[in-house]
Structure 1
Amino acid sequence: MPIFVCKRILIYVAALLVALSILAPLLWLFLMSVSSAKDLTQIPLHWLPQHWDFSRYQLLLSLAPDSPGQLFLHAMFNSLITATGATLVSLLLAIPAAYSFSRYSGHEGWLMACLGMYMVPPVAFILPLYFILQQLGLLNTHWGLMLVYCSLILPFLTWMIKNQFDAMPYDIEQAAQLDGLSTYQVLLKITLPLAKPALGAASLFGWLLAWDEFFYALLFTNNINAKTLPIAIADFMAGRATDDGLIAATGILASIIPLIIAIALQKTLVGGLTEGASKG
């Protein structure tokens, strides 16, 4: 058998194993969500439910008062608002910061400060952030969480985007400046269009950081006005009689929005990752 055929077979086998390692937990989570409590606790365990039960999804998608769906849907909306808002604000600040760090020397100290801020344990910022939000009246609000999440996302996006700007040829920008374009015009008309794949990948990773964040949301929210999805899922697990199927259903529904965004940005994400890998 030719060597290139063996290599191709190994690549497909490796890809299949990676896909199985990702899809198998999701498949089991779905089976849990449609299994009865008896099926989930029966020994020996049944891999397929004897009676398929989709009532938990109906319960989570209902806005009936004091129902799990009321908490779940409000929390999903809160997570979507805070994650998207924090990512957009961080992106608007990270682009000019990354461009200045990439194109102008002498700012290495500030760049190291951004990295150091990102590496500090989140628990160190609890009291300062709490007092700031309290003084501004932003506790248990979307704006308060956006402000906190920006402190997490902004250094991350700045470093990712700076690396992409570093890999871009500077000759194109110099030619544009000779044609009369200002620095901001070069950034908007030349640099950003070329860096579009990397911006999409960085934005997606930043958004996922905010979407999955648990620690700050637990401390700075206390009701459905701003409580995010990770906190709502933890609330479902806090009762004495925990419905494992309900928690599994929340996991399935919570993964839908990130999945839709990832599929919509698939070409941009793959392009950004492969371009960053090839420019290293």
Structure 2
Amino acid sequence: MTCAAETIRDLPLAHGSLDRAAHRRREPGLLDALLSDPATRVLELVGGTVEVVGTDGELSLHQRPPVPADRHRLAVFLGQDDGGPAHVAVVGDPVDEGDPRSWRGLRQVATVLDDREAGMLATALALTNWHAAHTHCPRCGHATTPEQAGWVRRCGHDGSEHYPRTDVAVIMSVTDADDRLLLARGAEWPEGRFSVLAGFLEPGESLEAAVAREVREEVGLEVGDVTFLGNQPWPFPTSLMVGFTARAVGSAIELDGDELAEAFWVTREGLAERIADGRVLVSSRMSISHRLMERWYGQRLPTTGEWRPARS
């Protein structure tokens, strides 16, 4: 594996600047103290969304003082800069359908928030997703409870500690000898939604080996010249996307018949045409998949062909 001379440096979610202040997590009663302090800034998540304020072009996270109900909710200490307030994320109750506040998902606001707030929201979402999926001990099956300000869960039966997990995935823009880009549609994706290939790292595997294996498994191609381009936290639910380019040896595609519904090679002109007429919908510019495609394309992709989920 090599590293590109010019990596992708402006990936959303990848430049959070809040000091996580990890040394404070073991302080006894930290969350109780912070949630009793009106100076604490609370980021409330409801169904994976957060309240935002401002106009669509200049949105920011709404962070409020603590309320009494927060002390009975799942809470996570996000961090604290020197001399600044502490930041805590809480999982709130469902809101009424007529709630006048503006609630948005991370995909909707990642490219509008500043780096600090986007990183804060990504951390909060990844941690709360992990808590929701790990309520019981994998060793004995008994219930676990949060500790260390939300950064650990402990089993009440065997005392074992469990830490937040991050699932590492590789994502790669694969090109052929004619510098065409390989695009694919997942078997469960809607018609027209396409992206570059991706897959999870397996135990005992290097990143470059995962790139080669995933391409081989999904489209039957061998690749070389695997080059690292950048990485991005991806809290859907708890992943880290590690981006690469790779050069295919040959161009004959053999679909795996399981994970992919279709795949094809495309030129730059062909991609522009397919986006313009709606045959190809790509992920939003917040994602590393979009940036990998954009790097190959040589300029910003047309935005008329972006696929966006409704809320998250």
Q: Do these two structures clear the TM 0.5 threshold for a shared fold by scoring above it? A: no
TM-score (norm 1): 0.24
Of Structure 1 and Structure 2, the greater helix share is in 1
Of Structure 1 and Structure 2, the greater strand share is in 2
